[in-house]
Amino acid sequence: MMQGIRKFWKENGPGYTFLAPWFVGLFTLTLAPMFSSLYLSFTNYDLFTKPDWIGWGNFAEMFRDPRYLKSLEVTAGYVFIGVPLQLAVAFSLALLLNRGIRGLSLYRAVYYLPSLFGGSVAIAILWRQVFGGGGLVSDLLAWFGIPNQNWIADPEHALLTLIILHAWQFGSPMVIFLAGLKQIPTEIYESAAIDGAGRLHRLFRITIPLITPIVLFNTIMQIISAFQAFTPAYIVSGGSGGPLDSTLFYTLYLYKKGFGNFQMGYASAMAWTLLAIIATVTAIVFLTSRKWVYYEE
């Protein structure tokens, strides 16, 4: 047995030695906090006193909390409106850039820039200025006779401004769509054109079916990202959740509960519930993909 261990270490020891820092990070910075938060989700914990075990109390309290339910509603609107809008913009621009125009690399880099800066504090502050009272949007609409207003302070439009910000961050899915479009053989389009198929027919009968695996990938990645959105809501609303909690994202309310009210047990329960929600939505997308995703055989 000792010989087997020595042989194994001789063959694999250097590799595991180099991986040791990663394993330390995995266990100390990822797994340990995860299991700690799982335990805390069943306790009443305020950072200053010993956790008090209350079982499912935090989870039961969440669904009696009107602000928690409001955060679910706001986040659902942000995800299920913002993600399709973002993917539609990304796919449209990918189709345009796939036509072999001059300076493709420059256009691709320019369009990708919003994705690099879209989640930053600076862009969120800029967005607040653009849609605030007397901002750029109000000045532009004034040319059409629409009175000046603070879009962020309006409960009916505050969430819409964040949805537009999310759709503006189309760079990453656009690049992935563009890579997928490049993989479609040109012979298929040539054959369809010879048979008399028009552009729309080729788009809906060839391009979209062949790109559906990319659509599935982008949809799942953007849904996960949208559920975890925090910076735009925190900065644009000033950390308050906006007028009448119209921009009270799930993550923002989690942050307020955990680090504002020091209800770490409650916040941990919210975090694990969010994980369950994301996993459920992702599973539903995967299950329904059997009906609309085409895999070439």
DSSP assignment letter at 257: I
Length of the chain: 297
Residue-wise pLDDT tens digits, 148-174 = 777 888 888 889 989 998 888 888 899
CA distance 289 to 213: 9
pTM, whole model, 2 decimals?
A: 0.87
Domains of the chain: 58-132+159-292 (1.10.3720.10)
Query: What span, in angstroms and rounded, lies between the C-alpha atoms of 237 and 135?
Result: 15
105-153 per-position pLDDT tens digit: 777 777 777 777 656 677 777 787 788 777 777 777 777 777 777 788 8
Q: In this structure, what are the phi and psi dihedrals at residue 44, rounded to the nearest 5 degrees?
A: -100, 110
Give the residue, 9 or 276, on which the prediction is more confident. Answer: 276
Split at pLDDT 50, 70, 90, the class of 194 is confident
Say if residue 253's pLDDT is above 90.
Answer: yes
Using 50, 70 and 90 to split pLDDT, how confident is the model at 189?
Answer: confident
Sign of the torsion formed by the C-alpha atoms of 117, 241, 38 and 285: negative
Dist CA 192 CA 201 (whole Å): 9
Cα radius of gyration (the chain): 24
CA distance 4 to 16: 16
Q: When comparing pLDDT for 113 and 256, which is higher?
A: 256
The alpha carbon dihedral of 150, 154, 160, 165 has a sign of positive
Q: Which stretch of 13-27, 69-83, 142-156 has the lowest confidence by average pLDDT?
A: 142-156
